[in-house]
A and B are shown apart, each in its own frame.
Chain A
Amino acid sequence: MFLHNFIYALKILCKNKVLIFWTFAFPIILGTLFNLAFSNISNSEKLDVIDIAVAGENINSNFKESIDILSNKDNSDKLFNTKYVTLNEAKKLLDDEKIVGYIYNEKIVVKKSGIEQTIFKYVVDEINSKINMSSSIFQAEISKEIENGNYNINYELINKKVNDQLNTKVSLNDTSNKNLDYVMIEFYTLIAMACLYGSLLSMTCLNNIMPNMSNEGKRLSISKTKKVSLILSNLCASYLVQLVGLLILFTYTIFALHVNYGSNLIYIILLSLAGSLAGLSLGVVVSIKFKVGENAKIGILIGIVMFWCFLSGMMGITMKYIVDKNIPILNKINPANMITDGFYSLYYYDTLDRYLLNVISLIVFSLLLLVISILNLRRQKYDSI
């Protein structure tokens, strides 16, 4: 009996085009859009070569030397594309936004302020201060020699001394995690959305079998099938369809879009199962608690899920951070964020605490909704149908 209901519930779900669109096709379409939109973002935020110009004739040779080192294409730290031009040419280049700025007469000219302009200015400052320092140390060394009564100054030796002093190595130890690609969050919100869109499946299933919601439900409820078995078989079917949809989405995002979900498969599966359970229970509670038509319920669910996804960073990753930081409670009770944050912890953190907290939150969320639903369902007869 259970199997019979289960198989037919599967058939009914799989042939519902609207549901299949939302749970299978829509996340894939959205994922493709993300991929198109974000494929460049990580690269373009990286430090790129900056186009600049040096205008005029009287250029300090030390300065030119330093700029040339930074503009040398064999230098792995190449920072600038430098053109040597006349002032008028420089102005024209700047107007056409071919260069970020130019230096003329020890003054930098830019069109507007920005990070590239700032770096340009910084490097010029750096070069200038190096030149100043070397000359001041040079002076100091010479005066030291003279103080010591040594008038026969060996300039080469002093030069070497100065260079020794200037050539200090700053040692920094980068301890940041290498998984810093924050675009991944977009794809995590996508998985969250797919999980929660499972609610559409469970909602439809319940609508089909509840006597106060559909005629089919009336027919089922006068059959000799036990209500519990009916509900369970239908929810199992919706859960299965949901998981198949997720599996397709995972396969697509991993192999076609190269999304990184962290390395531990078991944890990914556990999180997906918990997330899908949250989706399922959301559908159950909306189906039972909201006394409106099926289309209105679909509208409500899509609205809720999209809003949650918005808060967890789907339409702008910063949104998630802003909410996390300023109104943490809002995202602590947001299942889309629990899923997103769970994947984020797997991807970014080495410890599991935060991941587990998210999984537990999802399970608590689901159980809470299910308990509410069961309490409502206990009233098995209806005053009106």
Chain B
Amino acid sequence: MTVFKAFLKILNRNKGIVIMYTVILLVFGVTNMSTNNSNNLFTASKPSVLIVNEDNGNISKNLVKYFNENSEIKKIANNEEARNDALFYQDVSYIIYIPKNYSSDFLSGKNITLDIKKTDTYNGAYAEMLLNRYLNVANIYQKSVSDENELINKINETLKKEVKVEVTSKLNTGELDKASFYYNFMSYSMLACLIYVICLILQVFNQDKISKRNIISSTNYKKSNRILLLSNFLYSFVLWLFYFIVSMFIVPEVIFSMHGVLYLINSFIFMITCITLSFLLGNLIRNKNAISGVVNVVALGSSFLCGVFVPVNLLPSFVLSVAHIFPTFYYVEGNTLISSLEDFSFINLKPLFMNFIIMIIFCIVFIILTNIVSKKRQKIG
């Protein structure tokens, strides 16, 4: 019990770090929820467009109406700086400036050049396509139709005709992507919290004086080691459980389904891998001051290289091949696989199970290495 109490004391003294990483995860999870994918460029099918309309005519109103139907019109503070910021951070992909008297000039057949601003992205290109199409149709009819209302009707009629689209997948991709995003980010917080705390605790207990004192104390050495292991596991488990509970609030539909169970298993196995990795690092690090350095390099490094902060499909291939040496890679890939699962037949689940097995192999390797390292250390001591 004394070992466990000491463990709790050390944990309590360093709770700040755990809280910080957890807060970062929560902020990330919650903002991700409230922004509703607008920052995830690859599921949005409506580009976000900003229209600065200084005209009052019906032609420009119709243009706005068209964009309202085919894109997400953004409301941005009415100044150029806010618009420029929005464009830079891709809050809007496209800005259209409609000048004064646009409608009347257009009707009189003047060739008007519109000012626009755009990002160099899919969404920007798509928004421009929409604008081009509208203007093309409008220009064509303007040559033959002179009545404003008839012109607008003709334009809208032409633009209204749409091809039918059938979507074969029945998945709620938006929610599943969100869940994957949250669970991916969780690997960063989890890794950082576990490595930091476990390394620190191993440091404290491995300090020569204390470990000697422990050996000669009445508590059995092996028993106290076991309690230490158990305490670390308990701490990790509680943290993992907490992160899981948070995910129930962020993506409830996903969590209370078969997908949720798989996310749960995947993250649990990853947690075990983190614990074993932390034990290895804790045995390797000799200097207490080095811990935060190692935490940041390992946690940030694996997160950046394995697709936690940047989606895997955006990473260059050579980075991905390097990423194979991190367990995080298989965890993230596991999450991606889960989010694309439609039915849970064995054939579909097989690649996911492969990832589980690879993570478990990582665990075993870490445990073996830890044993080798600590054996060597005992000899030196």
The answer to whether B116 touches A173 (Cβ under 8 A) is: yes
Within 8 A of B (CB), among A129-174: 129, 132-133, 137, 140, 165-166, 168, 170-174
Q: Which residues of A contact B14 (CB under 8 A)?
A: 299
Q: Give the chain A neighbours of B314 by CB distance below 8 A.
A: 40-41, 44-45
Tell which of B155-163, B204-212, B275-283 binds the partner. Answer: B155-163
Binary contact track B106-132/A, C-beta < 8 Å → 1, others 0: 000001111111111111011011111
- Which of B23, B133, B140 contacts A137, CB < 8 Å? B140
What chain A residues lie within 8 Å of B301 (beta carbons)?
29, 33
The answer to whether B167 and A112 have CB atoms under 8 Å apart is yes
Contact size range, A: 35 or more
Q: Assuming A33-B301, A112-B171, is B164 touching A180 (CB within 8 A)? A: no
Complex CA–CA separation, A103 to B128 (angstroms): 23
Asked whether any CB of chain B lies closer than 8 Å to the CB of A177, the reply is yes
Pair A115/B122 contact, Cβ less than 8 Å: yes
Q: Are A321 and B91 in touch, CB under 8 angstroms?
A: yes
Chain A residues within an 8 Å CB radius of B169: 111-112
Scan residues 21-51 of chain A and give those whose CB is less than 8 A from a CB of chain B. 21-22, 26, 29-30, 33-34, 36-42, 44-48
Identify A46's interface contact among B121, B132, B143, CB under 8 A.
B121
Minimum CB–CB distance from A31 to chain B (whole Å) comes to 11
Q: Which residues on A sit within 8 Å (CB–CB) of B168?
A: 94, 109-111
Please, how many angstroms separate the alpha-carbon atoms of A106 and B163 in the complex?
A: 7
Residues of the B chain whose Cβ atoms lie less than 8 Å from the Cβ of A26: 293, 296-297
Q: How many Å from the CB of A91 to the closest CB on chain B?
A: 9
Assess whether A209 is interfacial by the CB under 8 Å rule. no
For the complex formed, measure the closest distance between the CB of A182 and the CB atoms of chain B, giving whole angstroms: 6
Given contacts A47-B125, A170-B132, A307-B20, contact A140 B144 (CB under 8 A): yes
Contact call B88/A325, Cβ cutoff below 8 A:
no
CB-defined contacts of A298 to chain B, threshold 8 Å: 289, 292
Closest to B82 in A: A325
Cβ of B238 within 8 Å of any chain A Cβ, yes or no, is no
Asked, given contacts A122-B130, A125-B163, A321-B85, whether A175 binds B116 with beta carbons under 8 Å apart, the answer is: yes
**How many angstroms from the CA of A119 to the CA of B121 in the assembled complex?**
12
CB within 8 Å for A174 and B116 given contacts A36-B305, A122-B129, A348-B88: yes
Determine the chain A residues whose CB is within 8 A of the CB of B289 once the complex forms.
Answer: 18, 295, 298
Select one of B114, B120, B292 contacting A299, CB under 8 A.
B292
Chain B residues packing against A (C-beta within 8 Å): 14, 16-17, 20, 23-24, 27-28, 31, 35, 39, 41-47, 81, 84-91, 95, 97, 111-123, 125-126, 128-133, 135-137, 139-140, 143-144, 158-159, 161-169, 171, 173, 188, 288-290, 292-293, 296-297, 300-301, 304-305, 309-310, 313-316, 319, 322
